[in-house]
Structure 1
């Protein structure tokens, strides 16, 4: 049974054009081709990147956050209450008004007190500002390194300047060492993001991020095995270019360099729209959709690869909407952070108590002055 599954999985027609088989992609005469076995190194690479990230955040990002005055807000802890804690952990973090009234009867607390308890308890679950700063710093550093590493690996390649060269001699295209390391680091990074999703800052587009990471890893895996490496490296470089500015803008915004962060975000928006909604669909997808059929008949891999690219494009359209909404806040309001993040809630009762105390102090002072004290 396993042999049958293996033969079906590695059936030539799934991965390669007609009249091409795996025997044509065996190493010979100094020519080395990409193989599925090379991908075993991705998991160790992802684990190494997680370790590097931990060291980077602890010994570089966190000290930098302290120097720039990036500190977590002081939070009030929720009062110990087993009934509310059980409801929070096992039923809902945001109870309906009917559930609030039911909890009031069980605890003997007024509605306002129960609502404040849930706000404070939710805030306890949210990551602090320093964690956001460290995460953005790590991503900015990686995207910067990956992009310029990709530029060094690609700048002298003919297919960068003439996309028809992407398919010259396909699929018998020799794998270059620079392509191997570029792929390994990128796939290791996206796998590390999947492994750390539960620990990272949770955003409103959490599900979209999961889809994006899985689609990216699937796309890169397929492109590696099918020897779509040339177009794969171009896709990675185009995606990394704008991400540097996004994460850099978040780092500066957390450090309260708002004007610089806003300027960088405007540049990021322009670059994002140009690369993700311009170059990506009209150059790269066009390259994978039109040029290959001039050389060979479409096969399963051709359709699969293009469908995965379209999935990424749909995610780009969704994120473009969020980015333009953030740009509107940036230009006509105040950009407080990543619009996708689960923001901390203000404790209105605390503010009311502080204002009440302030009014009481001011009122007492006025009465004392009136009495001659």
Structure 2
């Protein structure tokens, strides 16, 4: 058996008795195919081109309308010795390095420290650049959420999530599902292509893991026809992202109160969609309910494993988001102090969220065991 045949054998990706043969087009019904995914790469390139045009036209005009202003920066004076150290050694020299540089550059310690501070400020992205990027993401996420909602609002599995398994895996592909998948995948691929030139975020590594896990999850759900679950997952993700990007836009424009109100709304929607709806409705329906229909198989574990990677990232981000949201609420000083020193009732905020995840895991695991027993009983 060749390696490709072994990787794609039916028993790994489908329940017993089902396989790739069930996904062949027939009777006028079209099913998702792996070769369809090649189109996401030209779509990603198109997104990169559209983004450049959008950021240089629409985003710039909107920045001007909202009066986004660039703070004046004092440039570091030309200095070959300090520039060489900055580019080749470190942007944050230690005290001993500063003292050594004072001898080489004929500058005082204070002058060297000031030079490095100004030089680092020159490297920081401008407010306009950050606004343009946020404006582009806001536009896409808002349109994607509206389009996704329009594609799902009349579907039975939008209201009863167990319907996503009705007839699996022979679920015909709808045109709206095809374009929703291809556009979302193309956009996430374009984000990976542009990561080197985008403003680097503090959670850069987590963001990369999120993008990769999302691409794998969406692609895999397409290959094995988990499309109904995939569309719900994408909609849940898009539901809050546009609020975050709009809050960033108003922050860069100096509209602090508007930014604060939108961010609090974003925090509420984020927690509702990603810490309530996703784990207790969608993941429950992809992890627990299928075991009442089929014995577990590798594809089942792989799909839900990717979902749990995303859920761990959501919990990590929820801790950061809640800390920021609390700053905008009355009595925030005392609450923030309690969080900072670890005296928040029970545990630190992040620990509370981690404990919540563990409890969710234990509850779902008990359901899985019960479902396994039910499946084994039926098989016997």
Please give the TM-score of this superposition, normalised by the length of structure 1: 0.86
Q: Equivalent of 1:47, from 45, 48, 67?
A: 45
Aligned position for 1:19: 17
Matches within 5 A, 1:39-78: 39-78=37-76
Aligned position for 1:301: 299
Deviation of residue 333 (structure 1)?
Answer: 10
Question: 1:261-306: per-residue Cα shift (whole Å, max 9, x none)?
Answer: 2111111111111111110111111111111111111111100111
Q: Equivalent of 2:122, from 101, 121, 124?
A: 124
1:79 counterpart SS class: coil
Contact 2:138 2:242 in 1 (8 A): yes
Match status 1:151 vs 2:149: yes
Q: Distance in 1 between matches of 2:275 and 2:63?
A: 34
Q: Distance in 2 between matches of 1:111 and 1:70?
A: 36
Q: Equivalent of 2:279, from 278, 281, 288?
A: 281
Runs in 1 of length 4+ with deviation above 4 angstroms? none
More divergent stretch after superposition (143-152 vs 92-101): 92-101
Aligned position for 2:374: none
User: Higher relative contact order at CA 8 Å, sep ≥6: structure 1 or structure 2?
Assistant: 1
More divergent stretch after superposition (113-122 vs 286-295): 113-122
Contact 2:188 2:211 in 1 (8 A): yes
Q: Distance in 1 between matches of 2:272 and 2:183?
A: 25
More divergent stretch after superposition (231-240 vs 78-87): 78-87
Any unmatched runs of 5+ in structure 2? 333-380
Question: 1:176-231: per-residue Cα shift (whole Å, max 9, x none)?
Answer: 11001001111111111111111111111000000000000011111110111000
Tell me: CA distance 1:90–1:13, structure 2 relative to 1, closer, same or farther (3 Å).
Answer: farther
Any unmatched runs of 5+ in structure 1? 335-373
Q: Equivalent of 1:32, from 20, 30, 33?
A: 30
Match status 1:325 vs 2:323: yes
Q: Equivalent of 1:106, from 91, 104, 107?
A: 104
Structure with larger Rg = 1
Aligned position for 1:344: none
How large is the Cα RMSD of the aligned pairs?
1.5
Match status 1:248 vs 2:242: no
More divergent stretch after superposition (113-122 vs 315-324): 113-122
More divergent stretch after superposition (114-123 vs 177-186): 114-123
Q: Distance in 2 between matches of 1:87 and 1:9?
A: 50
Tell me: CA distance 1:56–1:333, structure 2 relative to 1, closer, same or farther (3 Å).
Answer: farther
Q: Equivalent of 2:176, from 164, 178, 182?
A: 178
Q: Equivalent of 2:93, from 83, 86, 95?
A: 95
Q: Distance in 1 between matches of 2:69 and 2:317?
A: 29
Q: Distance in 2 between matches of 1:304 and 1:100?
A: 51
Aligned position for 2:362: none
Question: 1:241-265: per-residue Cα shift (whole Å, max 9, x none)?
Answer: 1111111111122222222221111
Please give the TM-score of this superposition, normalised by the length of structure 2: 0.85
Q: Distance in 1 between matches of 2:327 and 2:34?
A: 46
Contact 2:69 2:253 in 1 (8 A): no
